[in-house]
Amino acid sequence: MKRLRNSLGIAAGKATGRTMKILGRTSTALPGYVAERIGNEPLKHYLHNRKYAKTILVTGTNGKTTTTMLIASVLRAAGYEVVNNGSGSNLTRGVLTALLNDAREGDKSTLLLEVDEASMPAVCAATKPDIIVVSNIFRDQLDRYGEVDTTRKLLEKALDLAPEAELVLCADDPHVVRLGSGEGRSVTYFGLNAPGLKALSHDHAGDVPVSPITGSPLTYTHRYFGHVGKYQAEDGSFKRPSPDASVEIITNEQSAQIVTLKLRGVEHPVVIRSGLIGTYNTYNLAAALAVGMSCGLDMSLIVEALQQKNTAFGRQETVYFQGQRCQFLLIKNPTGFNQVIQSFFQKQATAPVLIVINDNFADGKDVSWLWDAALEDLSTTGRIVVSGSRAYDMALRLEYAGKDCEVIEDPMEALREITAESVDEVFILPTYTALLDLRKQLSLKLEHSV
């Protein structure tokens, strides 16, 4: 009976996907949702007899979508077909939707999924991954998850369900490193060695981690953002592991950065020239490179793939509106917001900025996170316009940060207003549903990683 219901659910999900395709619509979650409503564990059922050359899961608070896209680029360069959920639809229903829409499997196919932290236990149990990447663990939509400790425990539970999986972990986030302590587990660490990089002066987004062994507080010799940096426990019981892939030099150019990495046991440094800007993207690049290494791929092939023009849904995606160049920078939580500020709104910035804050379920219904973002450090000579269903919360936050702004509640009207004047570039900082709405209204085709 259970099997029958799962089969029925999957058939109904597939039919939903086909219907949407005929209607010219892209499905990111609905077919999976339909299958879940009818079946019991349709994801597990669907994957039961399917084989992939590699199954890779990417999770963590920030960087999932971009890292997934970069890994996809590497896998394709190596000749694999990639089955993945590239639109950031990362709950179990989104994962299932991606699978229902793409039936490829076998020796030449890889399954690459970005997975929401809360969906990790179910997805781990169903997919039996070969590699799990964890980027970082930060406050994110606490109304859904409760506390950061809860998120970490969810991931611990998920990893227990995938004891064979090799882990690719960020060495600079102590919450993430705790996940690698399991016995006999193969772990590849990536990290950043950038003594010149300092956290924003108003960065409140970190959480105070302690030594998992003794509870002793951690002290930092370098703090890059939040609780990410170089640390050790005061009593010496716990410290940052030395990364297997370590970013050593970051040089910024006009709309590109050059990232030099040192790899364990490799004499010559690896240099990647990427259009992805910002510290957070150096982590994403290092994570994808580490996955390529774990898959035993040729380094020159990996580097070449990472250098291709890669932009994920709403992350440094460029669009033109009224002839004006605009760049989307998705913001979802304080750390993500801070990294955008750190990368794009330091002293010399001149670009106008439109911030669109919604509080739908997918954005998080609690907007208190705006107060944990370092708006005090946002610097630009351009105008600041705020919009969205919680525009006035953003305006209030900016008022207390000492920044002048204008409120235009309707996002499209705000966009028309801010692009009216011709400048080099306009930055649009939307929350998730604000991004979806704006893109829809701009009638942009949903284009994912190439």
Q: Which residues bind other proteins (CB under 8 A)?
A: 139, 142-143, 146-149, 204, 207-208, 210, 215, 217, 365-372, 389-390, 392-393, 395-397, 399-400, 407
- We find the least distance from the C-beta atom of residue 161 to other proteins, in angstroms, to be 23
> CB-hemisphere CA count at 13 Å for 142?
15
111 vs 414 by CB, closer to other proteins: 414
d(CA 102, CA 112): 12
68 vs 358 by CB, closer to other proteins: 358
- We find the least distance from the C-beta atom of residue 303 to other proteins, in angstroms, to be 39
Distances (CA, A) of 141 to 62, 98, 152, 209, 228: 12, 24, 14, 19, 19
- We find the least distance from the C-beta atom of residue 261 to other proteins, in angstroms, to be 32
Distances (CA, A) of 387 to 166, 324, 354: 43, 19, 7
Nearest to 280 by CA among 390, 192, 219: 192
407 vs 423 by CB, closer to other proteins: 407
320 vs 392 by CB, closer to other proteins: 392
Could you identify the residue written with the tokens 């209204």? 441
- We find the least distance from the C-beta atom of residue 172 to other proteins, in angstroms, to be 18
Q: Locate 413 and state its tokens.
A: 């009207």
* 146 Cβ contact partners less than 8 Å away, ≥ 6 residues apart: none
- We find the least distance from the C-beta atom of residue 388 to other proteins, in angstroms, to be 11
Q: Using an 8 Å Cβ cutoff, are 151 and 145 in contact?
A: yes
55 vs 387 by CB, closer to other proteins: 387
146 vs 269 by CB, closer to other proteins: 146
- We find the least distance from the C-beta atom of residue 395 to other proteins, in angstroms, to be 4
33 vs 371 by CB, closer to other proteins: 371
- We find the least distance from the C-beta atom of residue 143 to other proteins, in angstroms, to be 5
393 vs 417 by CB, closer to other proteins: 393
358 vs 380 by CB, closer to other proteins: 358
**Torsion angles phi and psi, residue 223, rounded to 5:** -125, 115
- We find the least distance from the C-beta atom of residue 150 to other proteins, in angstroms, to be 9
- We find the least distance from the C-beta atom of residue 211 to other proteins, in angstroms, to be 12
- We find the least distance from the C-beta atom of residue 197 to other proteins, in angstroms, to be 21
- We find the least distance from the C-beta atom of residue 400 to other proteins, in angstroms, to be 5
132 vs 391 by CB, closer to other proteins: 391
d(CA 14, CA 211): 47
Angle value at C-alpha 162, between 306 and 68, nearest 5 degrees: 20
50 vs 204 by CB, closer to other proteins: 204
